[in-house]
Amino acid sequence: MFAPLARYLHRAPNPSDADRAFIAEVRIQKAREPRSRRSETVLAIGWALILAKCWGVHWLCSAYAVPINPWWVIAPSLLFAIICTWIYWRRD
């Protein structure tokens, strides 16, 4: 057990071994997950439903003289839809 250690301690270091002993750079490339066709279809259907809901809320508020501004309902819906879509597209 000590013979290889003694041999290692008493020999002159090889310059090429010193270069291999240190890591100069590490690059890790995460494999990109392919886009899911099903997820994009669900996202498109969700957007269509949100836009239909926004149109319906706007029409109902104007047709029935509801005492609120329809943008109090429409704006948060669009905001959260935009955030969810942005998170999906930036997930890489």
Segments making up each domain of the chain, as ranges: 2-89
Averaged pLDDT score across all residues of the chain: 85
**pLDDT digit string (tens) for 57-87?**
999 999 998 899 999 999 999 999 999 999 9
Angle between helices 71-89 and 37-63 (to 10 degrees): 170
Instruction: Supply the pLDDT for residue 35.
Output: 82
Task: Provide the phi-psi class of 33: left if phi over 0, else alpha when psi is between -120 and 50, else beta.
Answer: beta
